[in-house]
Structure 1
Amino acid sequence: MTDTDVTEIATQTMLVAAKVAAPILLTALLVGFMISLFQAATQIQEQTLSFVPKMIAVAIALLVTGNWVLSELISFTQQLFGELPRLLGQS
């Protein structure tokens, strides 16, 4: 396994992690932004008002995108295991 192989695997891993995390993070970001606008408009500064809707929205995003996330992770893992003989065969 060469340095190039390690760098390529690390790059692919970070891209898959970003793709898998994006729907959840974007959901939390959008819900948090909407709640911040609501709190600024109404001057209600309740802490649970921002936490509970974000938690519910993230749970819904996980339910909606769960199959896709799992298939992406399985695909990446199968690709990585498929490359093992090539990677271990090099000196």
Structure 2
Amino acid sequence: MTEGQILDIVRDAIYTLLITALPLLLVSLIIGLVVSIFQTVTSIQEQTLTFIPKIVGVFAALMFFGPWMLTVLTEYITDLWANFSMYLG
């Protein structure tokens, strides 16, 4: 196994990780921004106000994007296992 192959595997793993985590992180970021703007407008300074909307939003995003995320991860692992014999030699 060469250094190029190792770098390809690591690059693909990091890319897959970023692509699958991005929808949940964006939903959390957008909800946090909306709640922060709401807190600024209403002068409510409760720190725990963002937790419940974020949890509900991330759960809803996971239900919506979950099948796609599972497909992306399954394709990556299938490709990794399909080329396993090449990595041994």
The unaligned stretches of length 5 or more in structure 1 are none
Distance 1:32 1:45 in 2: 14
The unaligned stretches of length 5 or more in structure 2 are none
TM-score by length of 1: 0.94
Task: Give the equivalent residue in structure 2 for 1:82.
Answer: 82
Distance 1:37 1:71 in 2: 35
The two structures, once aligned, show a CA RMSD in angstroms of: 0.7
Moved over 6 A (4+): none
Distance 2:48 2:5 in 1: 47
For this pair of structures, how many residues does the alignment match? 89
Identity, in percent, stands at 36
Per-residue CA shift, 1:11-59, capped at 9, x if unaligned?
A: 0000000000000000000000000000001001122311110110000
Task: Give the equivalent residue in structure 2 for 1:52.
Answer: 52
Task: Give the equivalent residue in structure 2 for 1:41.
Answer: 41
Greater shift after overlay, 60-69 or 46-55?
46-55
